[in-house]
Structure 1
Amino acid sequence: MFIAYLATATLLALALAASATLTARRAEPVASNMRAVGVPDSWLPRLAALKAAGAVGLVGGLWSTPLGIAAATGVTLYFIGAVITHLRVKHYELAPAAVLTLISAAALTLRIASA
């Protein structure tokens, strides 16, 4: 199970790092998507920091089981919130958030199973 967590957490951490970078730079596709669901521009630095922390935590979770579980839990909750935010405003372009929710939940399950 650990190798499955290794692969899942590494890919998820890379996706989070890329998303954090784009969010911090206020890249137009990210910023317009955030605006479409009602997220104020002032939240973007905080959201970028949360994504970056999740990426670091997932990688650190390779050596520390509690850190990996905490990071995967946090990232899963973050993306559940993103899906709910999309649905709340009837913005149905939520495939990226939904897929990342599932991958995050898989990373959490795999980290718990490999403990």
Structure 2
Amino acid sequence: MFIVTAVLSGLLAAAMAQSAVKKINPDKDSLVLRDRLGVPPRVWTAVGVPEALAAVGLVAGLWWAPLGVAAAVGVALVMAGAVAFHLRARLFGAALAPPIGIGAVAIAAAILRALTA
């Protein structure tokens, strides 16, 4: 079961690292989404920092379980916020898939890491 935990944590870390880069150093698509969601530029950039830390925490958490669980729970909370912003901006359907999917993977990773501690 640890192998599944490691794979999920690695995939989640990659997704969070990619998201952090797009927030800290945004491209055109990222800026369009930010504006559509109505997120202020400083907040958008600031969210990239915990996302980057979560990516590091997910990988380091494979060696120290409490860190891995905390990082995965943090990702789930960030994704819950992302879902709320999408709903507030009336972005439904396919636009909701990434935060819901990543949030679900984060919950699974937190549970699995707690079980494999």
Which TM-score bucket, shorter chain as reference?
over 0.9
Structure-1 residue corresponding to 2:108:
106
State the secondary structure of the residue aligned to 2:113: helix
Structure-2 residue corresponding to 1:6:
6
Number of matched pairs: 115
State percent identity of aligned pairs. 39
CA distance in 2, matches of 1:30, 1:95: 16
Structure-1 residue corresponding to 2:30:
30
State the secondary structure of the residue aligned to 2:80: helix
CA distance in 2, matches of 1:44, 1:72: 20
| TM-score of the pair, normalised by structure 1 | 0.94
2:99 to 84, 97, 101: 97
Alignment of 1:1-115 (within 5 A): 1-92=1-92, 93-115=95-117
Q: Note the aligned Cα RMSD (angstroms).
A: 1.0
| Runs of at least 5 residues in structure 1 that lack an aligned partner in the other structure | none
Q: Which amino acid aligns with 2:100?
A: A
Q: Which runs of 4+ in 1 moved over 3 A?
A: none
Conserved in 2, the CA contact under 8 Å of 1:26 and 1:44? no
Q: Which amino acid aligns with 2:37?
A: V
1:23-68 CA distances to partner (integer Å, 9 max, x unpaired)?
A: 1111111121121111111112211111101100101100001101
CA distance in 1, matches of 2:44, 2:86: 16
| Runs of at least 5 residues in structure 2 that lack an aligned partner in the other structure | none
